Amino acid sequence: MCGRFSFTSTKEEVEQTLDLTLGQELQKSYNIAPTQKAYVVTNEYPQRLQAYNWGLIPHWVDEAKVTGKLINARAEGISSKPSFRIPIRSKRCLVLADSFYEWKPYGGNKLPYRIMMKDDRLMVMAGIWDIWKQGDQIFKTFSILTTIPNKEMEMIHNRMPVIFSEKQQQKKWLEDIPLQEVLGMMRAIRDKSLKFYQVSDKLNSIKVNSEQLHHEVLSPPTLFD
């Protein structure tokens, strides 16, 4: 599962990672929550950075509401799920982040952790998108794909986003490739690719969106207690 993430990367980092040319400065967010906008690159416009709402709305539903229910799409069985079977074949995207958050059960509580690339690079997650239109109403939305965790994430949660650490993977995800190749790409990032630390439980409130959420919490309990 991926229920919150952040994006504070620079325009230059995005341009270098994805071979894009961006005219605008990018908006930072330390606490991107379901229904909010986030930066994506779709297979329809692979040279353009766009902002879509997080929480897929299938194009075929009668009434569209940005509820954030379909924020994640499990890799297992995705090709047969009504909401995901068309997007996984023809509407794929890259979701940009510098980290994502996950909550680890501890006693009767859940402790939030920030997870990022070990080398602090831009994090590029696999996603699917759709566009719902009716009259003047248009909703552009996406889901983040999740899979079983690698060794680092096993210590925190039993799911994790599909992350592409190599340019070749990122480009291939946006290409017109057979479904079996797409399905084969949806696996956990290799072990020892990520780092993590505990952060403030102020993350729980979507009203809090400040650099403080990226600060490590050093007080016990720790992950290894």
Contacts of residue 177, defined as CB under 8 A and 6 or more positions apart, other chains included, come to: none
List the Cα angle 50/120/116 in 5-degree steps. 75
Residues annotated as catalytic are 2, 102
- From first CA to last CA, the distance across the chain in angstroms is 24
Task: Report the distance separating Cα 168 and Cα 94, nearest Å.
Answer: 13
C-alpha torsion sign, points 61, 63, 68, 69: negative
Burial status of residue 138 (CB atoms within 10 A of its CB: 0-12, 13-18, 19 or more): exposed
